[in-house]
Amino acid sequence: MKETKGKNNKSPVVRLKATAQEFNFSKLRADQDNKLANSGETMFLDFQRMNFIINGKEIDKNLIIAFKEGAKHRRSELFNSDDIYNDEIFNKKGTREIDTDRGKAFVASVLEDIEKELVSDALGELWKNHCEDPKTTDHQKTDSYKKEFEEFYNAGQRYIHLLPTERDENKDYRSFAKEVFKKMFRYAGAEVPSDAILEELVTNCNQAGYEAAPFIQTQLALGQSFIVENPKKVINIDCANQNNVRIRSDMRLPILSVKNQVMHGDKICNLSSSLEFTIESHNGEDFVTYRNGKLSLTIPKELKNYKDNGKSLFDIIKEYFQKFCAKLGFKPETKIQIEHGFGAQSNYLDGTISTTGSDANEEFINLLSENLRERFLG
């Protein structure tokens, strides 16, 4: 990989865009053999690893953590019902008082009281850790926020039965993940989507689904000389009604160079991508339809400084973008829109180029050559 630098620091931002009324949504979904995604475990873990905005309201990840913590199984380490009712030990000793219905009811009430104490202690410890976290803002330590924090925690307790335990062989998180989504939509003041849409979100609205495709395509384009590290991701969900949600996955990808096989070299730039589409359900049916897909990739000036075997990294990324559009079934359109903007503060001075579809026309190529010749050949 060779870096070439020109004398002129002015360079356009090039934004590649593609749209489609109908497209191959299967390319956006998690693989069918991805057990973690299809069991809901990926979504369960990603709730607190991703940033969600629903109907314009940012979802506080600390509240989601409180909800999940409230749903955890907590049992006394001193004794529990399994120890008390052990047939292997007591089956030869006849019926004990504790084995009667009355005895079992008494034991159940004692264990319930113990579990309530454990829950109360756990909530107090969780809030303490939250307040001591350096990332916690002053606003998130107020009494009003604590009340909201406790409400999420207590709400999670209602779904303890939905979380798998350590003893469960086939761990299924789907039902619980759906309840987390429902809580998030209600928190945002939005209508809760249909069950079919919720099922689709549980499987795919995570790092194995909607966020995976643009990330993977970008890394493939970068090859072995560059790496994407710690991308910043935001999922925007707008729920028009229970049968219609609009998803937009925005991602900022820090691009780092790989030097001497060291994976974490110097940061070159941020690459921005946006994937947008609508999911529709149909009157209680268990399937959904994907429509109105939009994909954009913004390439900053820094990536135009690099060449590999005579081809610029910009061109390599553009080709992968086109291939990805083709996989999605986006119909190629050759119309080019060119927006010129000049400003010293932005450093994106020569213009912004937008193209729709998976093929760029001659005007697009000529404009690129005119703007980038000095950088590539200087």
Q: What is the pLDDT of residues 155-185, one digit of tens each?
A: 999 999 999 987 888 899 999 999 999 999 9
pLDDT classification of 102: cutoffs 50, 70, 90? low
**Bridge-partner residues for 247, per DSSP?**
237, 277
Q: What is the pLDDT of residues 191-239, one digit of tens each?
A: 999 999 999 999 999 988 887 777 777 777 776 667 777 778 899 999 9
Q: What is the pLDDT of residues 34-68, one digit of tens each?
A: 999 999 999 999 999 899 999 999 999 999 999 99
- Cα dihedral sign, 349-350-353-359: negative
Res. 118: pLDDT tops 80: no
Q: What is the pLDDT of residues 229-288, one digit of tens each?
A: 777 889 999 999 999 999 999 988 887 777 665 555 677 777 788 889 999 999 878 899
CA distance 75 to 118: 8
Res. 117: pLDDT tops 90: no
Mean pLDDT of the chain: 74
pLDDT classification of 29: cutoffs 50, 70, 90? confident
The confidence score (pLDDT) of residue 369 equals 38
Most distant CA pair in the chain: distance in Å?
Answer: 94
pLDDT classification of 341: cutoffs 50, 70, 90? very low
Q: What letter does residue 165 receive in the DSSP assignment?
A: P
Pick from 41, 76, 34: nearest CA to 163: 41
**Bridge-partner residues for 2, per DSSP?**
307
What is the per-residue burial (b if ≥16 Cβ within 10 Å, else e) of 331-361?
A: eebeebeeeeeeeeeeebbbbebbbbbbebe
CB 356 within 8 A of CB 335: yes
CB 7 within 8 A of CB 377: no
160, two tokens: 């303890």
The confidence score (pLDDT) of residue 154 equals 94
The confidence score (pLDDT) of residue 112 equals 61
